[in-house]
Amino acid sequence: MAAVAAADHSIHAAKRRFLDDVARRFGLGPDAVARVLGTVMPETGPDPYKVLGVSPDASDADIKSAYRNLVRENHPDRLMAEGVPEDMIELATKETQAINAAYDQIARERGLK
């Protein structure tokens, strides 16, 4: 889904509907597309909470847990070990960077360590 979102560096209504449909078919929650868009297309104004897939009123523990889960799922080293193609590794690297940036922003705002 991230590759489609980033393909032409634009989001138009038809592409958004397509991405929403893909997310629904794969059983992903309603924030899945927003999280992917926030990570691969920062010009869409990524909301760090959406990048992590949590709400702004989530507890610090829930935010840390979501962050750790996302890093574990998307970490390029893990994907390399699984034999994922190089272009997907590059995408995972960008997504992991966006996840880290989102967590760092929230941690600064909340005074987390």
> Three-state SS string across 32-94, please?
HHHHHHHHHCHHHCCCHHHHHCCCCCCCHHHHHHHHHHHHHHHCHHHHHHCCCCHHHHHHHHH
Query: Which residues form the domain of 73?
Result: 2-110
The tokens describing 84, both together, are: 């994922």
Residue 16 has pLDDT above 60, yes or no: yes
Give the tens place of pLDDT for each residue, 22-80.
Answer: 878 877 766 677 767 666 655 545 788 888 989 999 999 999 999 999 999 888 898 88
| pLDDT value of residue 11 | 62
Based on the structure, what is the number of domains in the chain? 1
| pLDDT value of residue 30 | 60
pTM strictly above 0.95:
no
Q: In angstroms, what CA-CA distances link 105 with 6, 41, 48, 51, 93?
A: 23, 17, 7, 11, 18
